[in-house]
Amino acid sequence: MRADVSVDGGRIASVSNLHEADALPLGGKLLIPGLVDVHVHLREPGFFYKEGVKSGTLAAARGGYTDVCAMPNLNPPPDTPEHLGEELSAIRRDAAVRVHPYGCITMGQRGRGELCDFEALRPQTVAFSDDGRGIQEEGSMREAMRRVKAAGGLIAAHCEDESLLHGGCVHEGEYARQHGLKGISSESEWRQVERDLRLAEETGCPYHVCHVSTKESVALIREKCDIVINMTTAGGFGVPDDERILPLDLIPEMATMDAGSMNVKGDFVFHNSVAFLEKLGRRAQELGIRPEIEVMDTGMVYTALRLIEQGYIKSPPHFQMVLGMENGMAATVENLVYMKNLLPPGATWSAFGVGKAHLTILMATLALGGHVRVGMEDNIYLDAGQKASSNVDFVERTRRIIELNNKRPATPEETRAMLGLRSRQACMDYALQFSARPDRCG
């Protein structure tokens, strides 16, 4: 889409063809919502020779980031309100974007010893981390999680067991062997990941693992988080086909397949050539991944049926009907019924309506025996004039509607069985086997 944007008081007032004399020429640029980086190093106070609040946030602004979360690797580290105050002063003085600081977990950010006063730090911090150091003692991490949860916070952990480093400098693998370097075992990371996942489950503390780098850690996280993973292949403006298909190498259970090209706005076309769909279908079958066939009109249904007939999509297929997109099929119950009746025998299907049609299509889909999709990608309003605070609002309301229909939401394993996916254990085993192949990293 090409248009002129009017900005009033720092907010977008209108989008149209304005052609005003004092316009700032931005031809060839993209206008997108501000990006957020949850792990940055601004190094001030203490290490200004590495980076600073001013230079770091100017770089963020240049890249389209309006909010960044600053790690606590500072001198002094933000382990008390007074030390945090030094960082906040630098932020107020020099920040070009919004900066949300992390507080430390331990005093001095040492990874051991006395814990910080989380209650005192929480009002001005986004979360807590000793980034660069793992919390070495299980008892300390358990108590930290207990206190952080009570304070309404989150722990972002750097997982590294110092007793397993043995003076290594790089990953203990083929590169280290070829270059005569002392390696660091994967166990130094995954042992703490394993411990922390158990403690997070025990304490109920919100938990994030920073910079995961081993296949064992990925497997542990996947084991603890029982969800069906569906990766997008939509890509972006001008992204090559091979890059769009690359997320399949992460071995999700499902991946999107948009079964045709579509006019979006202006001169922007969401491009999905038949050649791309054939390539995507072949790769999905090689890896045992089930396509989620997204269809925005009946022509896309017929394209998918041809791909099924030609063997690029295995039967029975799963369809996601998308109604209400501009230049797509209108979100009406009549259109939903018509599209459903085009699907082949044995197909599973889901549907959603964009925007104000969301609830109508949701209820009709349940009545017709389909599955449903909800979330803020498709709609931001729970009711007229009432915005949802998060995806949770939609999920909770949908659950109530499902139960009023004398049904219940499926468990992840039941979902896998209904959609013909691998079992959870088979998926984890295959992901580990795939990541261990000689042509893969690690």
Written as one string, the DSSP assignment of 91-102 is HHHH-SSEEEEE
| Contact between 126 and 89 (Cβ < 8 Å) | no
| Contact between 99 and 68 (Cβ < 8 Å) | yes
pLDDT at 7 over 90: no
**Summary mean pLDDT of the chain:** 90
pLDDT at 343 over 90: yes
CA distances from 255 to 157, 232, 235, 383 (A): 29, 6, 12, 31
| Burial track 286-310 (b if 16+ CB lie within 10 A, e otherwise) | ebebbbbbbbbbeebbebbbebbee
DSSP for residue 268 = E
pLDDT at 20 over 70: no
Q: Name 421's Cβ contacts closer than 8 Å, sequence gap at least 6.
A: 228, 253, 254, 290, 415, 427
Model confidence band, residue 18 (pLDDT cutoffs 50, 70, 90): low
The pLDDT tens digits of the residues spanning 266-315 come to 777 888 999 999 999 999 999 999 999 999 999 999 999 999 999 999 99
Q: Which of 71, 11, 60, 10 is nearest to 36 (CA)?
A: 60
Q: Which helix (H) or strand (E) holds 322?
A: strand 318-323
Residue 376, Cβ density class (10 Å: 0-12 exposed, 13-18 middle, ≥19 buried): middle
Q: Which of 89-103, 126-140, 380-394 has the lowest mean pLDDT?
A: 380-394
- pTM comes to 0.69
| CA 12/CA 7 separation, integer angstroms | 4
| CA 215/CA 206 separation, integer angstroms | 22
